Structure 1
Amino acid sequence: MWRKFKYWLIKISRDRGTTHEIAFGAAVGTFVSIFPTFGAGTLIVLFLYRLWKFNLLAAIGGSMISNVFTSPFFMAMSYKLGSVFFEKQAAFSFKDWYKHLDHLSISVLAGSLILSSVLAFCMYYIIRYAVKKYRYNRERLKPAG
């Protein structure tokens, strides 16, 4: 997985876009990926691409953070984070789960808004730094002539 991430980072670093466009694309993809869009993430990224100027490849790569294995973790984190702001803790049981849907959905949405914002912010600066460093090293090692 680390190898795929490194390959993706090299690929977007070689793109012609500015470091801001690449980092912003990765941040948008990360935000949309973690926020519960229930399968519409790619469509939302494509829609936002038409509105704002960012690197589409970086956005699609950033949206790959959430997948079948990581989604339950992000949902649980979002619920816990959202529950901090909404006092009522729902004791979950399979028997009457539908009775707590209003609290669960508000907690998950509030928590995922915070979690996806923080992770998108972090992703922006991590990718921006990595792309700048890669481009600097590539330019420095380029033969003169």
Structure 2
Amino acid sequence: MNDVHPIRKMIDPRMWLRALLMLDGTSHQIALGAAIGMFIALTPTVGVQMVLVMLIAMLTRRLFRFNKVAALIAVYISNPLTVVPIYWFNYTIGTIYFPSTITKEEFAKLFEYDGLSEWWASMTRLFVDLGVPLLTGSFVVATMAGLITYPLLLRLLRRMKMLRHRERRMASNRLAKEQVHQKAVRV
């Protein structure tokens, strides 16, 4: 019996990584999709992130292709449980460039809302009160995360594909040896 709480399971990074590793597509397309999704996830665009992924896919399809599912998986790094810590971190990085003096408690209160209309009001207040430091920090953090995600995931995906190929080859060799052995026993 699995005693892991569903919410804890949902935010487990291993689950998201496993999902990325099981996707169909080239290693490049999956890694690029995850990097784009990671970039979007770490920008203050919660609520429209999936739409942004699809819009970017549509606008860039002639330039390059990326795995949209990988991007959508990576976007879920920011979710209702992680958005406040992510945005606080981004805001803190932004205050290095544009000083601001809001406390963590005041920051968290900006995310308290009931319903969609209050959510939009909250997001508007967030940008009015913290706009420049939050956007600057988000751009810095999202860019770094995207640039790190691509090569790390690309290497991991290539390694996983190589290991799977090796396992298939070994299984095929074992099967061939067993068939030869069975023929020899019959004779």
Work out which of the residue numbers 122, 147, 159 in structure 2 matches 1:121: 147
Q: What is the Cα deviation at residue 9 of structure 1?
A: 2.8
Matching of residue 54 in structure 1 with residue 80 in structure 2: no
Q: % of aligned pairs identical?
A: 26
Counterpart residue type for residue 133 of structure 1: R
Work out which of the residue numbers 25, 34, 37 in structure 1 matches 2:33: 25
Q: What is the Cα deviation at residue 91 of structure 1?
A: 4.2
1:86-97 matches, within 5 Å, as 86-87=98-99, 89-92=100-103
Q: What is the Cα deviation at residue 24 of structure 1?
A: 0.6
In structure 1, C-alpha distance between the alignment counterparts of 2:26 and 2:156, rounded to whole Å: 13
Instruction: Tell me which residue corresponds to 1:68.
Output: 80
Residues 2-43 of structure 1, C-alpha deviation per residue, up to 9 Å, x if partnerless?
Answer: 55224303322xx1x221111010011111111011311000
Counterpart residue type for residue 131 of structure 2: S
Instruction: Tell me which residue corresponds to 1:140.
Output: 166
Instruction: Tell me which residue corresponds to 1:10.
Output: 21
What's the TM-score, normalizing by structure 1?
0.84
Instruction: Tell me which residue corresponds to 1:84.
Output: 96
Residues 67-92 of structure 1, C-alpha deviation per residue, up to 9 Å, x if partnerless?
Answer: 111111111111111100113x3245
Counterparts in 2 of 1:3 and 1:116: CA distance versus 1, 3 Å: closer
Counterpart residue type for residue 154 of structure 2: R
Counterparts in 2 of 1:134 and 1:48: CA distance versus 1, 3 Å: same
In structure 2, C-alpha distance between the alignment counterparts of 1:121 and 1:105, rounded to whole Å: 24
Contact 2:35/2:150 (<8 A) preserved: yes
Q: What is the Cα deviation at residue 51 of structure 1?
A: 2.3
Counterpart residue type for residue 11 of structure 1: M
In structure 2, C-alpha distance between the alignment counterparts of 1:9 and 1:119, rounded to whole Å: 16
Contact 1:27/1:120 (<8 A) preserved: yes
Please list every run of 5 or more consecutive structure 2 residues that lacks an aligned counterpart in the other structure. 1-11, 111-125, 177-187
Counterparts in 2 of 1:91 and 1:67: CA distance versus 1, 3 Å: closer
In structure 2, C-alpha distance between the alignment counterparts of 1:84 and 1:55, rounded to whole Å: 34
Q: Cα RMSD over matched residues? A: 2.4
- Greater Rg over alpha carbons, structure: 2
Please list every run of 5 or more consecutive structure 1 residues that lacks an aligned counterpart in the other structure. none
Counterpart residue type for residue 94 of structure 2: G
